[in-house]
Structure 1
Amino acid sequence: MRTLLAELTRDEAARRAAGAVAVVPVGACEQHGPHLPVGTDLFAVAHIARQAATLAAGTADVIVTPPVPFGYSPYHLPHGPTVTLRTSTLHALLYDVCDSLVRSGFRRVFLLNGHGGNAELIAVVAREVGVDLGVLVGAGSYWTMAWDALEQAGAQERGRLPGHAGAFETSLVAALRPDLVVSPPHGPDSFARNPRGYARQYHVEDPLAWAGEGFSDNPSAASAADGARWLDLAAGSVAEALQEFAARPGGPAGTQGNSAPHGAIPGRHTVAS
């Protein structure tokens, strides 16, 4: 069964919509140091979404839309070519995508994020669309959803998880598109680990946080073999979350009602209903 919306005819998409989860990968187009392509986040989240849809098949019908290539990335502009959207623009774009999917018959939509700067906004869009349109909408970043599995696999031993253009992301691209990796520079060997799920007690926006080289830790510590393993783990965790989301009670008024609890599922994803 095909999993990409762009490859389906209108009739097949219409037949499957009501019982399927529509996954919208949300990426970014931003500088990733001197060694990685600006499409790093887009490549990773699109691959994970496609692989997760395949893994979930048989338990959940998952249909993946074309990825959203741009995100909120203004803080990367000083370091090199970056295409960024204002939060109002990204919010409107994602809301319209979800609205279109609902008008097309989908009753479960999941925003799968691949860029840290988008994380808060996709949760806001999920809540608003869920409340406004009366459908189940999920939102989560792939590394948060796969945090435990990735940590157990050593993803934060040599660099931050997920970091930016450091050992983790460089490993992913080395596995996905080795032809696009250009001699990773040697960065700082010491780094501060991110807390579980990339969640802190409160957020601080520091305009000087990206005053360095444009990457968060040592890219030369990357490994293509590790990257392939981490991509598989991320896709597996996302597939499990999508299967859980597909089976979740709640949904449109007049079917099962809005019986799902509101708010976040700790360490996994946000669901608005």
Structure 2
Amino acid sequence: MKSIWMHEHTREEIGEFARNGGAVLVALAATEQHGPHLPVHTDTLIAGRVAELAVRGAGAEVPLLLAPVLPIGCSEHHLSFGGTISLSPMTYFQVLRDIGESLVKDGFRKIIFLNGHGGNEPMMQQVANDLAVRHPIWTAAASYWSLARESLQHIEASEVGPVPGHAGGFETSAVMALAPELVREDRIGTSHPERDWIFAGPAGAFVGRHGELTGCDGFTDAPVRATADKGRLYVQTIADSVSGWLVRTVQAMERGEQSV
């Protein structure tokens, strides 16, 4: 294919790719406040870059296209800070469902969602499940931090703060690497209250408190240890993990088709 991006192909090229068993990845992001020091498209910047690197890597082994990144998500808990565009949970669910239904009509039988914002995850998982119930297709869905958890632990990414956190050391490092001109280093907080209750449960568990779902002042930890070098390492590590998952997932789908 001339490009990994779905939107750079014609309708005929996309249809042929889908009919021949190609998969499509839909990256989910958000436009929301990220404290006083990061741009509101932080999640879109990171998720888009991770998805692009991952698809370029995986595309050498499996047929895969990348749909346009969805830059608006479910960010209700950020609205009080301003600088946020959000879809309500039910609206977002329907948006994802409509995207999936469109891809099915385009001929795709392998649809994969990759998430880059925590508020999107429940609806994403449900839509992926529903699509596979309604249609004779394969679906998969995951958030990038879940796919890269072990790899990020191996490189000790948590040294800068919770991973992924929100506008803390991890995300600030990533933006410093991807778009340093957008980081307001003069507004980086040097301290943040400890909130141990967030980590009271196992990975994947949710613990919330009214008014503090985004941390204090809209970020979860002080990003004083963030650096561009760390950000480059984090982004590449995540992309490598996602790429490996995409290859394994698409190949498993292909084996499943052959066994029917």
Normalising by the residue count of structure 2, what TM-score does the alignment of the two structures yield?
Answer: 0.91
Label 1:13 to 1:217 Cα distance change in 2 as closer, same or farther (>3 A).
same
- Within 5 Å, give how 1:245-260 maps onto structure 2: 245-249=249-253, 256-257=259-260
The answer for the alignment partner of 1:72 in structure 2 is 74
Q: Aligned to 1:237, which of 237, 241, 254?
A: 241
Letter in 2 for 1:14: G
The answer for the alignment partner of 1:52 in structure 2 is 54
How far off its partner does 1:11 sit?
A: 2.0
The answer for the alignment partner of 2:12 in structure 1 is 11
How far off its partner does 1:255 sit?
A: 6.7
The answer for the alignment partner of 2:210 in structure 1 is 207
How far off its partner does 1:251 sit?
A: 9.4
- Give yes or no for contact 1:45–1:113 (8 Å, CA) kept in 2: yes
Q: Aligned to 1:86, which of 85, 88, 98?
A: 88
Question: Deviations along 1:211-269, whole A, 9 cap, x unmatched?
Answer: 621100012221110111111111111111111111114799x9754xxxxxxxxxxxx
User: Identity of counterpart residues, as a percentage?
Assistant: 34
Letter in 2 for 1:109: I
Give structure 1 stretches of 5+ with no counterpart.
258-273
The secondary structure found in structure 1 opposite 2:49 is helix
Letter in 2 for 1:155: A
The answer for the alignment partner of 2:139 in structure 1 is 137
Question: Deviations along 1:77-99, whole A, 9 cap, x unmatched?
Answer: 12221111111111111111111
CA distance in 1, matches of 2:60, 2:34: 37
Give structure 2 stretches of 5+ with no counterpart.
none
How far off its partner does 1:208 sit?
A: 2.6
Normalising by the residue count of structure 1, what TM-score does the alignment of the two structures yield?
Answer: 0.87
How far off its partner does 1:119 sit?
A: 1.2
Count the aligned residue pairs. Answer: 254
- Give yes or no for contact 2:200–2:207 (8 Å, CA) kept in 1: no
Label 1:90 to 1:123 Cα distance change in 2 as closer, same or farther (>3 A).
same
Letter in 2 for 1:247: Q
How far off its partner does 1:185 sit?
A: 2.1
Letter in 2 for 1:154: E
More helix by share: 2
